[in-house]
Chains A and B, each alone.
Chain A
């Protein structure tokens, strides 16, 4: 137990850390927004009349939820070039994150949709709304609200999971910590600082989501 902490040595690498942090924020924002869209589309496909869409969505969810994220990532980055699809490491990282988040959100949002009282849909039909209108106006908003906290948690999990894309040389926060650790061998300090930054990001994300949630859903409440 004679370890002397040396956080001062990290100062010379603060640019690396900050640019890593910024990259993690960018990855998270883009993949969260696209992932939520993909999740909604996936959930919509799950209850679509067309059996191809219905089964396709189910297959997608099962495939992604039952394979490791790092394998999906390596397949996209190292595997796809073999058939001519080549992406930069950031594109491949975002694509993997979006596909992953989309699958989990499809399942979460579907659960919310399944709990829609039948009467509401029947009432909407009687009023002559089209299927699309029913999904967008009657089913989705309350369903999304019901599962909102799970959606938020899943988005935070994806933010934390973005650490894995450091493996394909995306220079995000974990990459920065790895890099610093490989230069000054201060593992304790590097990873502790990275962990605290992730913690901070997670708190901020929850705060922002809660703000958005309370605004969006209080308006819903007022309307109803």
Chain B
């Protein structure tokens, strides 16, 4: 009897130990990463300019460069894991990756599932226009003409903001709205910042600049719930990246636009 009791105690004890070991290990992802020498990051593979496959068949984009920067600062090797927008959060939750850097926006549902760091990339709807058009707020749009894609989120947001003396020209789809801007039929357009990047890539003679924001939804790095040390470290590195001008150069390289200063203080 006694032996049996001892044995069961020992088993229970060792079980406890093992579980304890697992839980402490998972409670500190940052140490695991430095120990393994590898940072596993979920990145998009079909969402340029954030992540796509380049002509040399290597992944390229804003998110890939960001992942590379974090790995370099942590002094570990980088392992990219291509994900889709549907499975990027499950990959993090099942610990297949350490971080999600996949143009991930924040919303209350997602905040229940994972933790977010500070933003690292701009993603927004706004009103854009040529340099010589002086507009900084919806009020200054009076007597101006803005092109927008009918029924899109930016159309609804813009319509709510502006008064009746603003002429909104609504076009059927994004490409027609772009054509209207490129052919000079409108001097301002309401659209997303990625569309503006697209214009900058295609037609450098008429590059629109951000005038004001309609809806801001920047990209954040996703971290497993409760991994505060890792999240703090990533936050520290994002802060450093901004201070060192890394984010500015990433923004210029992939988005053809300056990094918005207000993102740094978010």
Contact = CB atoms under 8 A, between A and B. Distances in A.
A79 B180 CA distance: 10
Interface of B: 147, 150-151, 155-156, 169-172, 176, 179-180, 183-185
Contacts of A81: 183-185
A12 B161 CA distance: 19
B155 A78 contact: no
B162 to A, nearest CB: 15
B180 A169 contact: yes
> Which bucket holds chain A's interface residue count?
10 to 19
7 contacts: A77-B183, A81-B183, A81-B184, A89-B185, A167-B176, A168-B180, A182-B151
A179 interface: yes
B180 A86 contact: no
Contacts of A168: 171, 176, 180, 185
Interface in A69-83: 74, 77-79, 81-82
A178 B173 CA distance: 12
User: In terms of DSSP, what is the predominant structure of the interface of chain B?
Assistant: mixed
Contacts of A144: none
Contacts of B184: 81, 86
Nearest to B150: A182
Contacts of B169: 89, 169
Nearest to B155: A182
A175 interface: yes
Contacts of B183: 77-79, 81-82
A79 B185 CA distance: 11
Contacts of A182: 150-151, 155
A169 B183 CA distance: 14
A167 B149 CA distance: 11
Please name the 9 residue pairs, one residue from A and one from B, whose CB atoms are nearest each other, closest first. A182-B151, A169-B169, A81-B183, A78-B183, A78-B179, A81-B184, A182-B150, A169-B170, A169-B171
B168 to A, nearest CB: 9
Contacts of B171: 167-169
B150 A179 contact: yes
A78 B150 contact: no
Contacts of A183: 151, 156
Interface centre among A89, A167, A169, A181 (most CB of B within 10 A): A169
A42 B179 CA distance: 33
Contacts of B150: 178-179, 182
B221 to A, nearest CB: 35
A29 B193 CA distance: 42
Interface string A60-94: 00000000000000100111011000100100000
A53 B147 CA distance: 41
B179 to A, nearest CB: 5
Interface centre among A81, A86, A175 (most CB of B within 10 A): A81
B3 to A, nearest CB: 73
Contacts of B179: 74, 78
Given A82-B183, A179-B170, A181-B151, 17 more contacts: A77-B183, A78-B179, A78-B183, A78-B185, A79-B183, A89-B169, A167-B172, A168-B171, A168-B176, A168-B180, A169-B147, A169-B170, A169-B171, A169-B180, A178-B172, A179-B150, A182-B150
Contacts of B185: 77-78, 81, 86, 89, 168
B176 A175 contact: no
Interface centre among B169, B171, B184, B185 (most CB of A within 10 A): B185
Contacts of A86: 184-185
Nearest to A170: B169
A108 to B, nearest CB: 31
Interface in A166-195: 167-169, 175, 178-179, 181-183
Contacts of B155: 182
Nearest to A182: B151
B189 to A, nearest CB: 12
